[in-house]
Each structure stands twice: as C-alpha cells, then as structure tokens.
Amino acid sequence: MSQRNKSLGPGVHIYIRMTPGLGSSLSLKVGFWACTGVAIAVVLRRLVALAHPSQSPPQMATLDAAFASHTALTLAHILPAIAFVLLTPVVLLRRSDAVWPQRLLFALGAVVGVTAYAMSGYSIGGWVERSAVLFFNSLFLFSLARAYWYMHRGDSLQKTRWMWRAVGILLGIATTRPVMGIFFATSRLTHLEPGQFFGIAFWIGFSINTIIVELWLRSRGREPAAPGTARFGIRQ
C-alpha cells in the first residue's frame, strides 16, 4: 500500500492511498486466477514429465522429449516461473508494506526473462514461435524494468501499472494452452503438427493477455487509480 500527499494550503493536505488490486471486475478476477492456476498446472505437468518421461501420453511424447533434451535449462526457466506466479498475488493483491516480496519478484522475473531467451533456441514451433517469444519476452522485461524504475522513484501507482503489464504477459503462457488444445483437437481436420501451430498459439495467447491488460489499464473509470483502488482523506 502506498500513500501520496498533496497540499491544499497551509496546514491542509489531501492524501491518496493506493491499494493494488483487481477492483470489482469479476471477469478480471476469474481470468487472473484461471491463468494463475493453468500456469501452475503447466509447470507441475512439465516437472512430472521430466521426472517420469515413460509415462507421457503418445501425443505428448515428442514434445516431452524435446524439453528433456535440455532439462537443466528447462528447470532453470520453469522453477523461477512458478515461484513468480505464486508470489504475484502476494505483491499485487497484498495488504502489507513488506518490501522483500517485491524485490524477490523482480529477481525472479529477470531470471525467467533471461532463460526464456535461451529456451527460444529450442522452439518447437520454429521461427514463428521464436519470434513470439523474442517479442513478448522483451516486452515483459521492459515492463518489469519500468516497474523497477518507478519503484525506486517512489511512484507506487506507475510501478503497479507496469507490474500488471509484466504479469499479464507472463501469464500469457497459460492462455496459449487452450489455444493449443483447440489445435490438437482439430488436428485431424487441419492436419497441422505441433511444429506448425505452436508458434501461432504463442502469438494468439500472449496477444490476448497483453491486449486485455492494456485495455483494462486504459479503460475509463480506472484513471488515475488503475489497477488499484484509491482511498482519499484530508489532513489539517
């Protein structure tokens, strides 16, 4: 929680206290927690596949083998990623002034971003997937850097807004999953292989999250307090 003060005259100050949150939008809350749940499930499923590759279903065996070919890099990417996802509600929906969760979130985000670049060298979807990773990962790191910069400037409002941008992009990996599911389900009709539709799914999933978060931040009624709520008071 942060607080800003503005003087209205000698001895009179108005203060605005920002509490990061999702407001009253049910759709945003459902989307956020759904993406969080899917992202956690994706990481847990990958950990199981790495530990027990022989138990992979036939349609996933090739994909699991691709990730198993660079196990160390995969773990260096997905373990900080799941920690980032688990810590996000603590930082953005918190009710305390603790600083360490924020600093840890920035550190985890940096690791996730750097390893994502390395992971792009093993893209299943070729250059289409790789281009999506390079674009959105760069946007993720840029948003994270802006949030960090505003944090050091003491601008909690802008820090929170840029953090939501970064989180929205990262959770885009969860949105790609139902898109991939559609491609898998229709593969008998389209005859598309994972290597052909993975990149498309990445562009669709990450674009959806990025656009939705940006529209939310810019939507009427959320200025200037988005994405938190404001509490006003006057001190004399």
**3-state DSSP of 144-158:** HHHHHHHHHHCCHHH
* 3-state helix vs strand vs coil in the chain, percent to 5: 70, 10, 15
pLDDT tens-digit readout, 60-82: 777 888 888 999 999 999 999 99
Q: For residue 221, is pLDDT > 50?
A: no
pLDDT tens-digit readout, 98-110: 789 999 999 999 9
pLDDT at residue 2 in the model = 45
Determine the Cα–Cα distance for residues 177 and 103; give it in Å rounded to an integer.
29
Look up residue 92 and give its amino acid: L
Going 31 to 82 to 214 to 158, the CA torsion angle's sign is positive
pLDDT at residue 40 in the model = 97
Domain ranges of the chain: 38-228
Determine the Cα–Cα distance for residues 191 and 231; give it in Å rounded to an integer.
55
pLDDT at residue 9 in the model = 52
pTM of the predicted model, to two decimals?
Answer: 0.81
3-class SS at 21?
A: coil
